[in-house]
Structure 1
Amino acid sequence: MPGPHHVEPGGEPLVLPLAPTLTLTKVSVGPMDNNAYLLRTPDAALLVDAAAEPERLLAVTGADLATVVTTHRHGDHWQALAAVAGATGAALVCGRPDVDAIATGAWVEGLVGVWDGDVVAVGSHRLEVIGLVGHTPGSVALAWTGEDGPTHLFTGDGLFPGGPGKTAGPPEFASLLDDLEAKVFARFGDDTVVHPGHGDGTTLGAERPHLAEWRARGW
């Protein structure tokens, strides 16, 4: 049974109103069911992960796209980055420790590195950058909190329904889970909506009871 905010690979985008001046569009692209998320205000747009299929992404974003945030260095999350940047002139942002890897892999210039405490704007709205070290050294999540309603977290491959994203070994897993506990679960409420890099969404309330289980299993 499909979970929250389900979209079919290659299917129609899902559009969600987050605030009177902010909408979220989710689309699945590429062979790995990568989620790309467009946040749009009346005068600006921001894309989270130009993962694949640039023609489909550009049909969703339009040529007025202002910013693309890449959540981490793995290639399935930036296959369309150069094409989308070339068509729109959008500013390019990623986690500071992943800048060189993304710039080299995607053949893009001008990447701006961000980390904890930084914000990325889309119109009058601000998204807080949260570094989640473990899936990659420079993985980031973005947190948007409106005046009413829950926080929305765009977690890349840092957090999915059922646990953290894949890591290379026990030290990386411990780092990622430590960051998730301290920077995400300790700060945001159970109604916080999680928008991961692949597949369906979840909430922190649905995942919180399993933190000890994840640490015990080690992945």
Structure 2
Amino acid sequence: MTAGPAYSGDVTVGGPPARRELRGLRVTKVAVGAYDNNAYLLECTATGERLLIDAAAEPDTLLDLIGPAGLGRVLTTHFHFDHWGALAEVVERTGATTLAHPADTVGIPVPTDTPVRGGDEVRVGEVLLRAVHLVGHTLGSLALVYGEPGGAHHVWTGDALFPGGVGKTHGEPALFTALLDGVEAGLFDVLGDDTWVYPGHGRDTTLGTERPHLPEWRERGW
């Protein structure tokens, strides 16, 4: 199932969320905070179970998005402060279980209930997501991949992959190489061009749009 005409993936802080209906999974994207972070609410359409990816900022906005249906779990893609600014309040108000990679839990000021490592399964009701560990932007950055039944793959990349390049690696060549190698091996080498990418900031993209530019990214070093 492809995106309907109402979904573009383009959201702005203070603006309405964007909703996308996939087979088995409802995706709602909202932009929050001073750093224009994206937060994603994933809901299993069969069971109503829900996962929030990055309680980044504006707890009232996120709680309004969650609404009375509640929230089961929240995953933090990495420890940078702009991705967990609303985490404490969202957890307190919803009782949600927290998930993050063990390498990044030290930088998240809310205890992690469930550590998630590369290759682990993250279930949202009947929906199965696969975790991909991507070292470079941080040591514990996570992406989540969903294979839509009979359709394309979908991947939530945090700050590891954006339109136009991988995430910042703070001027460290070894970290840049690790991140680009990981993105190529963990995403581009195993997923098709129609894979939809939902990043931690800004607009969506696809692997097919970005794939031709991989050599350019490696040559420029960022």
> Fold-level match, TM-score > 0.5?
yes
Q: Tell me which amino acid in the other structure corresponds to 2:67.
A: G
What is the deviation of 1:149?
1.6
Which residue number in structure 2 is paired with residue 18 of structure 1?
22
User: Is the 8 Å Cα contact of residues 100 and 112 (structure 2) preserved in structure 1?
Assistant: no
Provide the rounded CA distance (Å) in 2 between the counterparts of 1:203 and 1:96: 28
1:138/1:110 CA distance change after superposition, 3 Å: closer
- 1:33 aligns with one of 11, 16, 36: 36
User: Equivalent residue of 2:179, what SS?
Assistant: helix
Q: Find the partner of 1:209 among 206, 212, 215.
A: 212
Equivalent residue runs for 1:149-168 within 5 Å: 149-168=151-170
For residue 95 of structure 1, report the CA deviation from its aligned partner.
Answer: 1.4
Question: Cα offset for 1:10?
Answer: 1.3
Query: What aligned pairs does 1:108-147 form with structure 2 within 5 A after superposition?
Result: 108-147=110-149
1:57 aligns with 2:58: no
Q: Does 1:44 align with 2:46?
A: no
Unaligned 5+ segments in structure 1 are none
CA contact (8 A) 1:50 1:84 kept: yes
- Give the counterpart of 1:177 among 172, 175, 180: 180
Amino acid at match of 2:10: H
Q: Distance in 2 between matches of 1:111 and 1:133?
A: 22
Cα displacement string for residues 133-168 of structure 1 (whole angstroms, at most 9, x for unaligned residues): 000000000001121221110000000000001112
**What residue is the counterpart of 1:97 in the other structure?**
103
Which letter maps to 1:191?
D
For the Cα contact (< 8 Å) 1:22–1:39, is it kept in 2?
yes
The TM-score with structure 1 as length reference comes to 0.94
How many residue pairs get aligned? The number is 212
Cα deviation 1:49-104 (Å, max 9, x = unaligned): 000000110111135200100000100000000000001111100112101211xx
CA distance in 2, matches of 1:112, 1:98: 12
Q: Is the 8 A contact 2:8 2:18 kept in 1?
A: no
Q: Is the 8 A contact 1:27 1:36 kept in 2?
A: yes
Q: Call closer, same or farther: CA 1:28–1:194 in 2, change over 3 Å.
A: same
Whether the 8 Å contact between 2:153 and 2:195 is mirrored in structure 1 is: yes
The one-letter code matched in structure 2 to 1:130 is V
Query: Unpaired segments of 5 or more residues in structure 2?
Result: 1-6
The match for 1:70 is 76
TM-superposed CA distance for 1:116, in Å, is 1.2
CA distance in 1, matches of 2:28, 2:218: 33
Contact 1:131/1:141, CA 8 A, preserved across alignment: yes
| 1: CA distance, partners of 2:112 / 2:129 | 20
| 2:197 is equivalent to residue 198 of structure 1 | no
State, as a whole percentage, how many aligned pairs show the same letter.
51
| Matched residue SS, 1:62 | helix
The alpha-carbon deviation at position 4 of structure 1 amounts to 4.3
- For each residue in 1:30-62, what CA deviation from the matched residue of structure 2 results, as whole angstroms up to 9, or x when unmatched? 011100000012421100000000011011113
Q: In structure 1, what is the Cα distance between the partners aligned to 2:208 and 2:82?
A: 28
Once the 2 structures are TM-superposed, how far is the Cα of residue 28 of structure 1 from its aligned partner? 0.1
